[in-house]
Structure 1
């Protein structure tokens, strides 16, 4: 079995991926709180999402530097870098949702979106566990299938939210912001599936 992380860089590399995944978990928690509150609390919570997004970008930069010093193949390095970038993009996607919520000043969100946020949290928890096995990717096991299941559930909740939105009608100025917020949450769900797919490609490559 090929070791993705040579011993001389194994601990720092896995630590950085673990830190990035832990940041993802923190962000999903912040994201859920923001979705569940009203405008005033959202304005207080939103800056934290910006801080987390900035931190994720910094961790990606450090990971890219570690990869440049590692002895792994270019293919593996590219997958790992894409993995880190996609985690950071997921954090950024949640910040984008926060910006839309604050700028549009929408009120309570449809219940399906709050349920989708819980699925996003669960996917982040699974991603943390997956990063612990990146140095032995054959142990990733059911990570990708579990995320795929969560994505299907999340996509269904997003569709339900859109159906509720258009079913109740209203002015376009009210519907459009909610549509954009729903689409942004859907993008976060899709990015989490992409994280898992990249990790699974590493597993397949090492099989």
Structure 2
């Protein structure tokens, strides 16, 4: 009966839900752009840009709440609902991780970042662009293509760049007060990268489940 209804009323139950995911994915793109700008500037500009990431994180949480409410009303299976809710939360967590990086940079007054971290931020932007394109296909998930593979490549590259940045940091030396904030910023960027791979993996699980 549920399958019968879902086939005949897809607009009323499914499309609004997927529209919310597309909106959340577009917010991820905007946040990754803000994140890159913030990493590339000095302290003064960072204090101006950081509140934008806080606003984007707040909007992401609100979108998660709306998605949760829509899932309660939907006619999809509990397993699929759990995957979709986890997907929404992970996307919001990625935005939150970028806001956390911004907070660390402002609070610690870290100066210029190592070039590999700036390159890793560009990879975060590219992964977000893949994610927004994938979000448009949630209603026809079998057409997802190689989204997960592409994000995994970016994840491996991003983690290598973070390790390179840490290597440069420790080889340069300095006091603990100088090294620790940069280490924390590097690990925060790494967390964003890992969360983006989780987004892609959850999306791919939906494709596998639908196969």
TM-score (norm 1): 0.97
Asked if the contact 1:162/1:182 (under 8 Å) is kept, the reply is yes
Q: Counterpart of 1:115?
A: 119
Equivalent residue pairs, number:
206
The alignment status of 1:88 with 2:92, answered yes or no, reads yes
Residues 35-184 of structure 1: matches in 2 within 5 Å? 35-184=39-188
Q: Any unmatched runs of 5+ in structure 1?
A: none
Offset from partner CA, 1:57-86 (integer Å, 9 cap, x none): 000000000100000000000000000000
Q: List per-residue Cα deviations over 1:103-137 (Å, max 9, x = no partner).
A: 00010000000000000000000000000000111
Large movers: runs of 4+ above 2 Å: 2-7
Contact 1:97 1:184 in 2 (8 A): yes
C-alpha displacement of 1:15: 1.1
Report what 2:206 is aligned to: 202
Aligned to 2:191: 187
TM-score (structure 2 length as normaliser): 0.95
